[in-house]
Amino acid sequence: MLLCLHIWFLEVVSNCSDDGSHAKDHHLSLPVSTGDLTTSAMGEMEELRKEMENLKDQITAARKTFQDSTLQEAAAGVTVVGRVQLKTRKTLRGHLAKIYAMHWGTDSTLCVSASQDGKLIVWDTITTNKVNAIPLKSSWVMTCAYAPSGNLVACGGLDNMCSIYNLKGKDGNVKVMRELAAHTGYLSCCRFLSDTEIITSSGDCTCVLWDIETGTQKTVFAGHQGDAMSLGVSPDFKFFISGACDFTAKLWDIREAECRQTFGGHESDINAIGFFPNGNAVITGSDDATCKLYDLRADQELLTYQDASIMCGVTSLAPSKSGRLLLAGHDDFNVNIWDMLKAERVGVLAGHDNRVSCIGVSSDGMACCTGSWDSFLKIWN
Amino acid sequence: MTIRRARPDRVQHFRPRMHCLKKLEAVVVEMQSGVKGSEQKLNVTTIPHVITGKDIIAWITNKMKSTTEESEAFGTMLVAYGYIYPLQNHRKLVMCNDSSLYRFQTPYFWPTQKWVAVDSDYAIYLAKRNIRKKGMLEPYEQAHYNHLHEWLNHKWDFIVMQATEQYKAYWIVNKPPRRTHSAMHNGLELLIDPNSDEVCNPCRDSSVLSSSVCAGSLLQKIPFDTYRRMNLFYQQAIMSSKVKSSVSLGALNKYVATYKNHDPFLAPCLPSNPWLTDNDTYWTLNMRQVEVPTKMRVERWSFSLFELLSDLRGRDDFKVFLKKEFSGENLAFWEAAEELKWGTASSMTSKAETIFKTFLAPGAPRWINIDGRTMGLTVKGLDHPHRYVLEAAQTHVFLLMKKDTFFRYLKSPVYKEIQKKALNPEPHNF
């Protein structure tokens, strides 16, 4: 009864089932305080809450029973990786303001970067030439993505829209192909699945799968209770993970439109998330200055990468091709390189004059590119 | 010869919310006969045909059997959508549960009237845009504006007045509902602190909007229905199959060890890393269409079927092997299914048909051997093809290839030959 009157006026569009904490409900004006409900309803609510706590305890217990070995034990026999030293090979200059995001193309030589001077630049990283410089309608851009085919790039930010640009237009000009507008919050991250589908995460706590040809939402993945800050797609394109400001990361099945697993454990907003190269583990980076490794099949946290000397939050991360190294960019202008199996720091990339906002490893694993608020992109190897 | 309507309706026939509004109008009609209207005395004058807020709310509560708060919210919506208008405080479109005066709007002005857009509407729109953009219209808009100004000069005062009123009214109608958090109040002024722990029971007549969501004490705000859904999710999570952590850790270790030599950060690559020596021989040797692949690449193909199929050169080699074995239809089906999954929506039906004719129909030229149940499901699904209709069959075929054909490929003379032929370039010596 409480819900039906409001649905007359406000259309709730969601064609997927979520994990229960339907964040959209919070944006409808439901009178939610317990004082409004009768005592019998109160009793029922208490019961449900107790059941929920009970189930959560059961899950933690089940996870413990499956934890019959830690990564330290399993990796004890592995040889130590020596000190890893990467040097700056190229510096890409051209942006006039903070760089917020970058993404490698699949050919490992082209990458796209977005900066708040309102430009999206596609770089040929070897020659440091700019292949395309695309002016944006809204300069408040927070994310960019390169399609696997290399034909499209996407960007979005505080305009709540994801704009798709066609790089291989007929007359050679780069034009807006679609503007995907339906989010009610800023666009924090977007990733292409193909030339026809794209997934976006937004500050309105939802992630959405769009059909680019028609410009409509195919599925809305609601369930986070805080702004969804980043997302990563699995190597086989069947799943994706999202990290949010409610300190959890969720694994979503794209096809079934469901949240399969939720991973907690962080103490602050999760800013960056990525899949381990074999697709069975997830790495998250958070404002509490730690990164965590979660395993999908064992459904638990395996390792935490932290160090007492690191006090700034992680803004971005990328695993190396073999998965042995984890590169994490921090607010203190450095990138830390971790040995993933031993949880030790094996290197630092220092070279930026301002916060490192984005990092990416090319698909052949050859080079890593970091972008920073000092408006430069550096290629390291 | 077709005769078109004199005025094209320009998609006016499709308007969102029409369905809801129609239901609503039935209620408003009932209300008109249900709520007593009267004359109100105000100083010397009398105001005819008015209804008081509390009468309306009492009627709604009675009819819908809801709480007063719900009726108030419903009433506010009626006012916002224009079915009832306030007589005294017409800037604030809310329904107050007291003796403030309202009147029913004539049906002529109801939103469902579906008026066709006319030139004066466009003129009003352009005038509003002019106000908003402070005179900086696009050239085509400016041209239309001038034309309409000349053409509708006799109505121009009316148009400008409508434009200014509508411009101001937008923010009154589209205000966020009471007692909810508006994102406009975040920011430097911080009228609302989004992280505060306020209880959601603010005083009724306060004009300050209170926040309703915060990351810390979410449990207090979670509505009743959500608990049930969350419990369902947790129960499903318990029942989901889990793997012992030692197994998955072992898999992680194995992966890292296998790829150790293929990670350019950890091991040098041959002939030389292009980033270090500025010589891109490595990339030319590893291109898609190269005749003879490098040894490292061929080694990578043996790691997993997924790796083999993702590298297009590897896929070609696999095809050669399958042709010798006369079992190429599995891979061909897999490729066709991939094309269907990632292709454009318009091509979907035609692709599905060709796939059916080539692979699935009984007696087809390249009939694939999948179990009866999957075949039945797939054929049924092909009546209404969508992107993932071949998912089950594709997974089955992939597993078949992985468990059987892949290992035979690795032991086959085709693979051994390509291993021998593969290049091992000399490291550059600069």
Nearest CA among A221, A270, A208, A251 for reference residue A21: A221
State how beta strands A228-233 and A216-222 pair.
Answer: unpaired
Task: Identify the band that residue A23 occupies on the pLDDT scale cut at 50, 70 and 90.
Answer: very low
More confident residue, B177 or A18: B177
Say which range, A47-51, A294-298, B190-194, B227-231, has the weakest mean pLDDT.
B190-194
**pLDDT band for position A197 (cuts 50, 70, 90):** very high
The answer to which of A56-65, A107-116, B35-44, B312-321 has the lowest mean pLDDT is: B35-44
Give the pLDDT band of residue B384 (cuts 50, 70, 90): confident
Q: How far is B227 from chain A (nearest CA, A)?
A: 6
Q: A225 vs B213: CB contact, 8 Å cut-off?
A: yes
| pLDDT score at B284 | 82
Question: What's the rounded mean pLDDT across residues A338-359?
Answer: 90
- Tell me the CA distances in angstroms from B46 to B33, B142, B339, one per residue in order: 22, 48, 75
Q: Alpha helices, DSSP H only, in B260-390?
A: 274-277, 281-285, 295-301, 305-310, 312-325, 329-342, 348-355, 372-381
Q: Do A295 and B306 touch (CB under 8 A)?
A: no
Q: Give the Å distances, CA to CA, from B424 to A134, A167, B323, B415.
A: 41, 36, 27, 16
Digit-coded pLDDT (tens) for A258-282: 888 899 999 999 999 999 998 999 9
- Residues on chain B touching A109 (C-beta within 8 angstroms): 283
Q: What is the pLDDT of residues B308-336, one digit of tens each?
A: 998 888 888 899 888 888 888 889 999 99
Residue B292 pLDDT > 70, yes or no? yes
Residues 6+ apart with CB under 8 A from A14: A22, A24, A220, A222
Determine the distance in angstroms separating the CA of A52 from the nearest CA of chain B, rounded to an integer: 5
- Using the Cβ of A216 and the Cβ atoms of chain B, whether some distance falls under 8 Å is answered with no
**Confidence band, pLDDT 50/70/90 cuts, at residue B196:** low
User: How many CB atoms are located within 10 Å of the residue A239 CB?
Assistant: 21
The DSSP line for B40-98 is EEETTEEEEEEEEHHHHHHHHHHHHT--HHHHHHHHHHHHHHTSEEESS-TTS----SS
pLDDT at position A377 is 95
Position A252, amino acid: W
Lowest mean pLDDT among A283-297, A340-354, B81-95: B81-95
Q: Is a pLDDT exceeding 50 seen at residue B214?
A: no
Q: Does A238 touch chain B (CB under 8 A)?
A: no
Collect all residues with Cβ–Cβ distance below 8 Å to B427 and sequence separation of at least 6.
Answer: B268, B270, B271, B272
* Residue B115, pLDDT score: 65
B70·A5 Cβ contact <8 A? yes
Cis geometry, peptide bond prior to residue B425 (ω within 30 degrees of 0):
no
Q: Is the four-CA dihedral B262, B268, B269, B273 of positive or negative sign?
A: positive
> Average of pLDDT values for B37-45?
74
Q: How confident is the model at residue A46 (pLDDT cuts 50, 70, 90)?
A: confident
CA distance B418 to B317: 8
Mean pLDDT, chain B, integer: 78
Contact list in A for residue B247 (CB cut-off 8 A) is 297-298
A-B interface: how many C-beta pairs under 8 angstroms?
Answer: 250
DSSP, collapsed to helix, strand or coil, labels residue A12 as coil
What whole-number distance in Å separates Cα of residue A3 and Cα of residue A12?
Answer: 11
Residues of A (148-177) whose Cβ lies below 8 Å from B:
none
Chain-centre distance for alpha carbon A132: 25
| B28, B77, B232, B234, best to mutate vs chain A, most A CBs in 10 Å | B234
Report how far Cα A349 is from the mean position of its chain's Cα atoms.
22
| SS3 assignment for A328-360 | EEECCCEEEEEECCCCEEEEEEECCCCCEEEEE
Chain A: give the shortest CA distance to residue B225, in Å: 9
Each residue's pLDDT tens digit, B220-275: 455 667 777 778 888 887 777 778 878 888 888 888 888 888 888 888 877 778 88
Nearest to A280 among B73, B218, B248 (CB): B248
Asked if B237 lies within 8 A of A70 by C-beta distance, the reply is no
A67 close contact with B: CB closer than 8 A? yes
pLDDT reading at B1 higher than 60: no
pLDDT of residue B430: 65
